Amino acid sequence: MPELRRFVQVDVFTATPLKGNPLAVVVDAAGLSDDDMAAFARWTNLSETTFLLPPTDPAADYRVRIFTPGGELPFAGHPTLGSAHAFLASGGDAKKPGEVVQQCAIGLVRVKRDGARLAFAAPPLQRSGPVDDAALRAQAIAALRIAPEALLDLVWVDNGPGWMAARLRDAAAVQALQPDFVTMQGLKLGVVGAWPAGGDCQFEVRAFVPDLGVPEDPVTGSLNAGLALWLQGAGLAGDHYVASQGAALGRAGRVHVRREAEATWIGGDVTPLIHGQVRL
């Protein structure tokens, strides 16, 4: 029998409503089946919908399951920040002051306050290094509709979802992309290019995941986390930078990256939009 459950909708990676990436969160998800969660995620038709559950790991404050309209993800960034915000705003009691520990399919993810923002510790890459497969490289070039020489790097930045990242000559080239989503089937492809020095943002990012029912994701924490580990490790980015994402969709997402001794933190503002109940 369906029951009323607490429900929150937030806008992540923005302090301005409607300019980030929306997330739907069912706070009281215990008792829902896999089919219930998948059906509700298809109904919201957002890039991700999350469901908060009691943790099974004693070190965690809550457990989350993350669904797109096309299936479940083991980890995603903007759902991590939005779910942590929903947990705290709904009266969740974290075990450690100033830090929330999220349990998800890839393990435990730490989330902390970073001034007015929340930030999660970038999980380690499960797959990294250059994409050596010639067929995958050709598919990525064709899907992005770019000349082969326009592709400066094509690397794995997979922290669970399966991201591959392409680096172009600059941010303008990233913004100008008009991808072929039919050719892109089977890929989870991120693209990054640098802005000229002196601006508010250092990189422009776009994320394409047509197989999950999200041809272009507005602002993508997991991709930015993988990019940060690669860019910083390769000497292409400093310890602190800001990436912009979402302009092609009318958004103005801002992802704040900060490398410290213990971790690289991926931060952003979370703006509440809706707080109420849903019958599930």
In three-state form (DSSP H/G/I as H, E/B as E, the rest C), the secondary structure along the chain is CCCEEEEEEEEECCCCCCCCEEEEEECCCCCCCHHHHHHHHHHHCCCCEEEEECCCCCCCCEEEEEEECCEEECCCHHHHHHHHHHHHHCCCCCCECCEEEEEECCEEEEEEEECCEEEEECCCCCEEEECCCHHHHHHHHHHHCCCHHHCCEEEEEECCCCCEEEECCCHHHHHCCCCCCCCCCCCCEEEEEECCCCCCCCEEEEEEEHHHCEEEECCCHHHHHHHHHHHHHCCCCCCEEEEEECHHHCCCEEEEEEECCCCEEEEECEEEEEEEEEEC
Write out residues in the chain with pLDDT < 50, as ranges.
none
Rounded Cα distance, 73 and 163, in Å: 12
Read off the tokens for 55: 């943790």
Diameter over CA atoms, the chain: 58
Instruction: Give me the phi and psi of 200, to 5 degrees please.
Output: -70, -30
Beta-carbon contacts of 119 under 8 Å, excluding residues fewer than 6 positions away, are: 81, 111, 112, 113, 256, 258, 265, 266, 267, 268
Q: Is 136 exposed, middle or buried (0-12, 13-18, 19+ CB in 10 A)?
A: middle
Look at residue 42 in the predicted model and tell me its pLDDT.
Answer: 97
Look at residue 249 in the predicted model and tell me its pLDDT.
Answer: 97
Rounded Cα distance, 168 and 154, in Å: 9
Look at residue 1 in the predicted model and tell me its pLDDT.
Answer: 77
Rounded Cα distance, 219 and 133, in Å: 28
117-121 and 107-114: which strand pairing? antiparallel
- Provide the Cα torsion 127, 151, 229, 267; round to 10°: -120
**Cβ 204 vs Cβ 244: under 8 Å:** yes
Rounded Cα distance, 25 and 275, in Å: 10
- Concerning whether 48 is annotated as a catalytic residue, the answer is yes
Q: What's the pTM value of the predicted model, to 2 decimals?
A: 0.96
Indicate which residue of 48, 149, 204, 216 is catalytic: 48
Look at residue 229 in the predicted model and tell me its pLDDT.
Answer: 98
Rg (CA), the chain: 18
Look at residue 103 in the predicted model and tell me its pLDDT.
Answer: 98
